[in-house]
Amino acid sequence: MKSECLRRVCAVALVSLFAAGVQADELKPKVEIAAANSEYPNRRGPELNREMLTGEGAAARVLTYDDSAAVDLCRQPGRRELDAILPIATDHGSFASGVVLDRDRVLTAAHAVQGADRFFVRVRGEYRRARLVLVDHQWDLAVLRVGTGNIRPLPLAMGEPVAEQRVWAAGFPRASAMTMTEGVLQENLAGALHTSASIDTGQSGGGLLSCANGEWQITGMLRGFGAYLEGDHYIKLENHSVSVSADQIQRFLASSDAW
């Protein structure tokens, strides 16, 4: 990626999505961080459109589950863990992802639900109406309250993540089937986790998972992906994403009685 930036003019400014307190000159290499939620253009009516609810019209990348992971519990997240990653939609036409952190509580990205009046979370194949109960725009975090049934919540990781730690980014790109990519933690910049796990539009609010002693946990919440400037437009980096750390999520949740 560094050689790629040497051949092109890389972005040096950060959009408002990036966490406050991290300056442009701290990024190595310098990249633009783009929101990883998405909207269907010209579809901002009060009702959800059919493509958003069913995933039709999107290029699906179907995740296959590896049953042999039971032998090596840290090989990759299994069905039980990935069941806690859910699709989210709003009445203004955006869609994103979310993580069940507690019974009837789903964490997602604040920018994915900003400006909406109604929120929906797909649970067991059915979109359910949700209520926004907690939001922090500075760190791009939000909590939705919705019936999650018997879905097992994912615990937040305790302690600082380790450089080169293996991570998996899971979410629903472009309102389609779940996608999971593997990467490593590259750097922790004041609670912003930079990893090599690739993500795409619609995965904001999804889970950055890691495994410790056979137990899967949420190391961070997916927030955006990197891009570099070429001419007058940005090119998405396939191997750079940014997440909010579990430690910062813990502080966010502890700051409110609504949790």
Q: What is the reported pLDDT for 259? A: 66
Q: Could you give the number of structural domains in the chain?
A: 1
Residue 165 lies in a domain: yes
Q: Is 88 exposed, middle or buried (0-12, 13-18, 19+ CB in 10 A)?
A: buried
pLDDT at res. 23:
26
Q: Which CATH number does the domain housing residue 235 bear?
A: 2.40.10.10
Q: How far apart are alpha carbons 110 and 164 in whole angstroms?
A: 28
Q: What is the pLDDT of residue 31?
A: 42
Residue 10's closest CA among 239, 186, 235? Answer: 235
Residue written as token pair 């994915």: 112
Element (H, E) at 54: helix 50-54
pLDDT tens-digit profile of 67-103?
444 436 788 999 999 999 999 999 988 899 999 999 9
- Distance from C-alpha of 133 to C-alpha of 136, rounded to nearest angstrom: 11
Domain limits for position 211: 2-37+154-246
| Contact status, residue 253 vs residue 102, Cβ threshold 8 Å | no
Do the strands 85-90 and 119-123 form a parallel or antiparallel pair, or are they unpaired?
antiparallel
Instruction: Say if 109 falls within a structural domain.
Output: no
pLDDT of residue 232: 86
| pLDDT score recorded for residue 9 | 28
The rounded distance, in Å, linking the Cα atoms of 93 and 46 is 9
Q: ∠ at Cα 91 (90, 93), nearest 5°?
A: 75
Backbone angles phi, psi at 205, to 5 degrees: 90, -10
Any domain includes 76:
no
pLDDT for res 34: 55
**Residue 133 belongs to a domain:** no
Phi (first) and psi of residue 68, to 5 degrees = -70, -10
pLDDT at 258: 63
> Is 83 a member of any domain?
no
**Beta strand residue intervals within 152-195, DSSP E:** 166-171, 179-189, 192-195
As to burial, measured by CB atoms within 10 angstroms (0-12 exposed, 13-18 middle, 19+ buried), residue 183 is buried
Token pair 């779940």 is at which residue? Answer: 178
Q: Rounded distance, CA 108 to CA 153, Å?
A: 14
Residue 142 lies in a domain: no
pLDDT of residue 234: 81
Q: How confident is the model at residue 72, as a pLDDT?
A: 64
Do residues 142 and 134 touch, judged by C-beta distance below 8 A?
Answer: yes
- Residue 29 domain-assigned (yes or no): yes
**Residue 95 Cα distances to 154, 210, 218, angstroms:** 21, 25, 21
Q: Domain for residue 43, yes or no? A: no
pLDDT, averaged per 10 consecutive residues of the chain (259 residues), comes to: 35 27 29 50 32 33 40 81 96 94 97 94 96 95 97 93 93 90 94 94 95 93 88 84 96 83
